[in-house]
Amino acid sequence: MTHSAPSTATPLPNGLRRDLTPPARAWLDQALAEAAQGMTPTTELRLAEAARRCGRPHADTARILILQAAHPTPADLTRVYHRGTAEERRAVLHSLPHLVAGPEALPLVEDALRTNDTRLLTAALGPYAARHLSAHLWRHAILKCLFTGVPVTGVAQLAARAHGDAELARMLADFAAERTAAGRPVPDDLHRVLALTDPEAAPPLPAPDGGGPHGKES
């Protein structure tokens, strides 16, 4: 994938511009202008400053905008992810579908799926994972969501990838049987996903982003 820095800074979404204080708007405008010159140590510093400058409610959006403006390479994203805080890692994961066309960044998704940070798990299962994560890893990610309480409503392309998946249905049934045998409740989300695996159900409509099950068995 070819990466080239844009010539102008990314404009702020109207809602974010309205919600930020004047000093925060000025800071973010400057950060985006700097990011438009490419991924530099200054850009990485701005990612770390986002919560302090913009406030926690807007920090995730600010980080994503900065990353998109910088057009980082997969190597840049890998560096930011592994050096960053959990918040910066979430921003990287949310940015992947906009910045990486191929599967080069899958190791970052796989790393996030090994954690027990529920917000990181949610970020990892976005459109990028829907397009590129293997069927085997995707199924285990769904089970991890059920085990950790991450709502499956946040999983991108859930219906498309689960449709007619007999192996996922088997894994869900085994998980439900284990919970029942241990006297523990079966999550409601398990029944929702299990219903999606029914091959007789109408196939889901394609999502606007085109994300679909392109992962291979492993």
Structural domain boundaries in the chain = 1-101
Predicted structure pTM score: 0.88
DSSP H helical segments within 20-85, as ranges?
22-35, 41-54, 56-70, 74-83
Q: Which amino acid is at 148?
A: T
What is the predicted pLDDT for the residue at 208?
58
Sign of CA pseudo-dihedral 63, 64, 70, 76: positive
Confidence of residue 12 (pLDDT cuts 50, 70, 90): confident
Tally DSSP H helices, then E strands, for the chain: 13, 0
Whole-angstrom distance, CA of residue 46 vs CA of residue 151: 31
Tokens found for residue 6: 């844009």
Residue 186: pLDDT over 50: yes
Share of the chain above pLDDT 70, in %: 89
| Segment 30-49 mean pLDDT | 96
What is the predicted pLDDT for the residue at 10?
61
